[in-house]
Chain A
Amino acid sequence: NAGVTQTPKFQVLKTGQSMTLQCAQDMNHNSMYWYRQDPGMGLRLIYYSASEGTTDKGEVPNGYNVSRLNKREFSLRLESAAPSQTSVYFCASSEGEGGPTGELFFGEGSRLTVL
């Protein structure tokens, strides 16, 4: 039972490089999310997708783009990485509207370092 799978788990980039974080869930969930976790800041929502075909900005969307490729997959792209984007990124999913409130299922995280 895989749940939420993120790749890659670790990545080092140079300033200005681009990359995409991949996320897939096998629970047939409607909603998916990208959070970043920074020391002393907790988790902050970057983007979310309430349902297939929709995406919306969260608290800290600048410098990121997302794609909800299908119901299973939700990718996060950094077009021109900056040192301020050094963080641990978590993808999560939930049943969404009509489902159990608040039950987000998280991946194991992707640790990104931008030099």
Chain B
Amino acid sequence: GDSVTQMEGPVTLSEEAFLTINCTYTATGYPSLFWYVQYPGEGLQLLLKATKADDKGSNKGFEATYRKETTSFHLEKGSVQVSDSAVYFCALEAWQAGTALIFGKGTTLSVSS
């Protein structure tokens, strides 16, 4: 079935460092892809999305490009801040479950000043 694999964490960076969190997927067809973020003690919230191949989603300085050839959707940010410390989840739309999403296991990012 459809699945998402994202890099294991935790990822520890200094402020202003470059961030990459890898995400690859296995899916039937070409599903929409998403990154969600979870701040401590909160629920998940949508960070960005891409609905078709070569689309680039962006928000709050984060970017991810839907790569059909490599079945990837890596999350990047040029200069992280302490406030970016959170858990990041890659996800895809599960056609076999209504409009539910299948999530990766999450990657914890910790940014120090």
Tell me the complex Cα distance, A99–B34, Å. 15
> Could you say which residues of chain A place their CB within 8 Å of the CB of B32?
101-102
> Could you say which residues of chain B place their CB within 8 Å of the CB of A52?
none
Across the interface, A40 reaches (CB within 8 A) one of B46, B97, B105, namely B105
Q: Contact: B105 with A42, CB < 8 Å?
A: yes
- Min CB–CB distance B22 → chain A (angstroms): 15
Q: Contact: A43 with B44, CB < 8 Å?
A: yes
* Given A41-B105, A42-B106, A102-B32, also A33-B41 (CB < 8 A): no
A contacts with B, residue count (CB < 8 A): 29
Q: Contact: B105 with A31, CB < 8 Å?
A: no
Q: Contact: B43 with A107, CB < 8 Å?
A: yes
Q: Contact: B49 with A101, CB < 8 Å?
A: yes
Q: Contact: B106 with A102, CB < 8 Å?
A: no
Q: Contact: B43 with A94, CB < 8 Å?
A: no
Q: Contact: A106 with B89, CB < 8 Å?
A: no
Across the interface, B93 reaches (CB within 8 A) one of A33, A35, A101, A107, namely A101
Interface residues of B in 42-67 (CB under 8 A from A): 42-46, 49, 51
Task: Name, among B42, B44, B103, the residue most crowded by chain A CB atoms within 10 Å (CB to CB).
Answer: B44
- Min CB–CB distance B102 → chain A (angstroms): 7
Measured CB to CB, the nearest residue on chain A to B46 is A103
* Given A42-B89, A102-B91, also A97-B44 (CB < 8 A): no
> Could you say which residues of chain A place their CB within 8 Å of the CB of B34?
102
Q: Contact: A43 with B41, CB < 8 Å?
A: no
Q: Contact: A102 with B89, CB < 8 Å?
A: no
Type the 1/0 row for B71-113, where 1 means its CB is closer than 8 Å to any CB of A. Answer: 0000000000000000001010110011111111110000000
Interface pairs A-B: 3 shortest CB-CB: A106-B43, A42-B105, A50-B98
A residues sitting closer than 8 Å to B (CB atoms) are: 4, 31, 33, 35, 40-45, 48, 50, 56, 58, 90, 92, 94, 96-97, 99, 101-109
